[in-house]
Structure 1
Amino acid sequence: MTTWPRTLDRAGITTPALRDAYSAQRGLVARYARAEYTAVRLLLPAPLVPHVIAATAFMHHSDNLIDQGPLDQRLSALADWSTRTRAALAEESAHLDPLLAALRHTALTHPQLRPHIEAYLKGGELEARWTGFAAEDDFRAYVDTYALPAFMVIASLLTPPDEPEAFEAGCRAFILGSQRLDFLEDLAEDLRSGRLGVPEEALADCGLTRDALLARPDPALVRTLVRHQAALVRPDLTTAAQLEHLVRAPHRPFLRALVRLQSARLTAAEAHGPKLLESAPGAPLGRAASILVRAWVSRGMGS
């Protein structure tokens, strides 16, 4: 693994202020997304690493603003953050906070990022307001309006120049599967907060309702629901596995590992079964480590 100072050098980030800005984002991402941070550091080319970290830090900070506190407070925070982000991208300032300074430099280096930042900020209000989905179409509209733009803030840094449409279609499959998996893992937390990411019609198909989930139903029904959702996640991840064949060779091990990490999470969620109503499953650390090591070895072999 290239050292962090050398990684900044390879990315052309040479001024002390910018190096400090990117280093601050590195610390943030390493704390809250250890597996993803390790995958980025191990598997992506050094010149791209600081930019992926800056985009990820922007996503994490934005999500925290959107998800925490009363609705009016969240909407106000989103509006203020959107204004500050757009201003930072529009013109240089000597007084940007480190996150926006890093994001601005990344957007200047990778201009394809800009429309995805804008789409993500526009979709933030939907994220702030949602409490559930009546039908599968509502879930997919949420993905297209918010979750896919959010993912593309990061994934656009890997977009191949010759097949951008196919790449984004693969990213949509990936985020459909991983977002559905997120909602499955977060059943307990979401129910406590008055939200639910599993559509009402999917609950009905399994003989359940939101009220029934709150009342702790027959575990067999919950197992049915978990199997039902897993059966929807798996084909999307299978489609997303084709992403590695669309990108430049240096990016393939990372995307391969990213999809396989989701599959490991899915296996853990299925094993957790009815206990998902009590807590999220533990991270599959052993499986994740194996996936990352194999991807790292394949990177060294040029595949």
Structure 2
Amino acid sequence: MSLRAAYDLCRRITARHGRTYYLATLLLPARARPATHALYGFARCVDDAVDNPRPGSDPAAALAEYSRLLDDVFAGRRPADPVLAAFADTVRRHDLPRELFDAFLHSMRMDLHVRDYPTYARLREYMYGSACVIGLQMLPVLGTVAPREEATPYAAALGEAFQLTNFLRDVGEDLRRGRVYLPADELAAFGVDRELLEWSVATGGTDRRIRRALAALVARNRAVYRRAEPGIALLRKDSRPCVRTAFTLYRAILDEIVAADYAVLHRRVAVGKVRRFAVSGRAFLARLHP
């Protein structure tokens, strides 16, 4: 398969598995889209190996194989798999450091055996590899108007903010998979433990202690968004509409969690279509008329 066809396959994978994400990539300048799709394709393959393994496959062995494939990529060899071939080309074109992908694999290994997180510090270790490094991978692709190292902490913070929002929105779904991605000590401060969360998921019941704990975590999440926001202005101008749109819509999920009175353990909240279209429409206009 040609390299162009490999990139197109990554585009189709993004469109099929990450529909909202794919729509956001349409706001990117054409120069940035192929690499964005290739990085998504790699992450999707690894994530599926852990969360949706083929029958009879061993997720740990699959992660070990991806680590070996990184050896090939960073040795300058082109993998036979088309998704990995596009990924390897992206890594070389943008001079992406290997440690970002090793950190990602480390967090994916944590998902094989870690079922809860005692403290926020421990959760941040996971989020660095699962989310912060995604922002750092994207920085060279998006481009910056300031030295890249100046934008680095903001990119990492934005990844953390998005991930925290996912954890709050998907707490019930994650619990059904046996995982709690909320710090146990911070839940305990409000009298919440895994047993209470499992009761809520199983019965559909609500509890004042859960609402108070989630409210505190939403407040923390908003603070991370505030920490990340100044970094948008450090991106190349043609990359800002996409990132600003993602920032606005993801942060709006927190509004929906609050509007639902924190009842997120038995249903998945979402930003309404009207608001999504309004935000996206403004971004498209900003891109067309900079």
Q: TM-score, normalised by structure 2?
A: 0.89
Shift of 1:230: 0.8
Shift of 1:180: 1.4
Is the alpha carbon distance of 1:248 and 1:218 closer, same or farther for their aligned partners in structure 2, counting shifts above 3 Å? Answer: closer
Instruction: Output aligned runs, 1:1-303, within 5 Å.
Output: 17-41=2-26, 43-68=27-52, 73-93=58-78, 96-112=80-96, 114-160=98-144, 162-216=146-200, 218-302=206-290
Is the alpha carbon distance of 1:82 and 1:283 closer, same or farther for their aligned partners in structure 2, counting shifts above 3 Å? Answer: farther
Is the alpha carbon distance of 1:108 and 1:161 closer, same or farther for their aligned partners in structure 2, counting shifts above 3 Å? Answer: farther
**Whole-angstrom distance in 2 between the partners of 1:157 and 1:115:** 17
| Identical residues among aligned pairs (%) | 26
**Whole-angstrom distance in 2 between the partners of 1:219 and 1:277:** 11
Residue correspondences, number: 284
Is the alpha carbon distance of 1:113 and 1:262 closer, same or farther for their aligned partners in structure 2, counting shifts above 3 Å? Answer: farther
| Structure 2 gaps, min length 5 | none
Moved over 6 A (4+): none
Indicate conservation of the 8 Å contact 1:85/1:100, yes or no.
no
What per-residue deviation string (whole Å, max 9, x for no partner) do you get for residues 17-65 of structure 1?
1121111111111112112211111x21111111111111111111111
Indicate conservation of the 8 Å contact 1:264/1:284, yes or no.
no
What per-residue deviation string (whole Å, max 9, x for no partner) do you get for residues 122-170 of structure 1?
4432343321111122112222344312443334422427432231111
**Whole-angstrom distance in 2 between the partners of 1:282 and 1:147:** 20
Task: Pick which of 167-176 and 152-161 moved more.
Answer: 152-161
Is the alpha carbon distance of 1:104 and 1:185 closer, same or farther for their aligned partners in structure 2, counting shifts above 3 Å? Answer: same
Indicate conservation of the 8 Å contact 1:226/1:273, yes or no.
no
Q: TM-score, normalised by structure 1?
A: 0.85
Is the alpha carbon distance of 1:300 and 1:284 closer, same or farther for their aligned partners in structure 2, counting shifts above 3 Å? Answer: same
Shift of 1:290: 1.5
Letter in 1 for 2:194: R
| Structure 1 gaps, min length 5 | 1-15
Indicate conservation of the 8 Å contact 2:215/2:262, yes or no.
no
3-state SS in 1 of match to 2:196: helix
3-state SS in 2 of match to 1:198: strand
**Whole-angstrom distance in 1 between the partners of 2:210 and 2:136:** 32
Letter in 2 for 1:119: A
